[in-house]
Amino acid sequence: MKKSFSRQIIVLLAIVLLFALLSLIPMYLFNRPGIDPWRMSIAMMVIQDVGIFIIPAFITARIFNNGRTVQTLMLDKFPRWSQLGMMLLIYIASIPIMNSIIEWNEGIRLPESMAGIEQWLRAQEDMALQATELMMDIDSVGQLIVVILTVGLLTGIGEELIFRGSIQRLMIENRVNIHAAIWISAFIFSALHMQFYGFVPRMLLGAFFGYLVVCSGSLWLPILAHALNNTMATVTYYQPSLETIPWLGATTPGITIISTIVTLLLVLYYVKYMRIKR
């Protein structure tokens, strides 16, 4: 099939929509009285990740790149140890500044003239919080592991396949400026989560994931970073006491400034010296 940007995007969106509609069937079957709410939330998350993200990304790549599906999605090679180490250092260094940005974004207040919009946005946040609380209703370490595998690893794989492995890649392949492609896909990634009061930090994370794949040539690097971020959020939610640890949760202006400087230096080093040769 002819490889044009518009054609590939249309096919990708059509397949996503098809599987989104098909996923309503098992979701309806699971959403019945007598079924454990926690098991239901896990099942729905798996259906979403596999049916709406993973399968459409593979099908679209297969249609337009016959015989090169894995290579097209940049899953054919793993990042170098140095790249993994730098990703981990950047993630750790950025925790305080990201926490500050999260706190700032959550505290945004719209003008009184937009009170209706703010009320709707807050309602969306409440719905997301309820879904999170349902999934995090954990009674054992076994359940915690299941949540980490689902929310951490599987969601990381699915979302990266769609946003970085498909949308961002298609823009770059069609000569869209690399930085523009990264930030556009990051914007879409954040917007589709429908959480205005977490929009900015999620967009920054999306951009971080975008630069990781561009610099390494491997989608596994942002997948691992995405899984790490989601796992940290899960473990912190499960053990709120972790938020009292300096750098992980409890921050001061001094720590935030140090975090910002170190993060920027590490990112600049990564982009300048560890980018793959094309």
Provide the pLDDT confidence category of residue 1 given band limits of 50, 70 and 90: low
Q: Which domain holds residue 110?
A: 73-273
Asked whether the predicted pLDDT for residue 250 surpasses 50, the reply is yes
pLDDT at 25: 80
Residue 114: inside a domain: yes
pLDDT tens, residue by residue, 179-195: 999 999 999 999 998 88
pLDDT at 278: 45
| Six token digits for residue 196 | 């205005």
Provide the pLDDT confidence category of residue 6 given band limits of 50, 70 and 90: confident
Q: What is the DSSP string of 109-129?
A: ---GGGHHHHHHHHHHHHHHH
pLDDT tens, residue by residue, 259-277: 999 999 999 888 877 665 4
Q: Which residues contact 34 (CB under 8 A, 6 or more apart)?
A: none
Residue 4: inside a domain: no
Average pLDDT rounded to a whole number, residues 25-47: 79
Whole-structure pTM value = 0.91
Range from 3-12, 139-148, 262-271 carrying the lowest mean pLDDT: 3-12
pLDDT at 38: 84
Average pLDDT rounded to a whole number, residues 9-37: 82
Residue 11: inside a domain: no
Q: How many domains does the chain have?
A: 1
Residue 218: inside a domain: yes
The stretches of the chain forming alpha helices (DSSP H) are 5-30, 37-47, 55-64, 69-72, 81-106, 115-135, 141-147, 155-162, 169-173, 178-191, 199-216, 220-238, 253-273
Average pLDDT rounded to a whole number, residues 99-115: 89
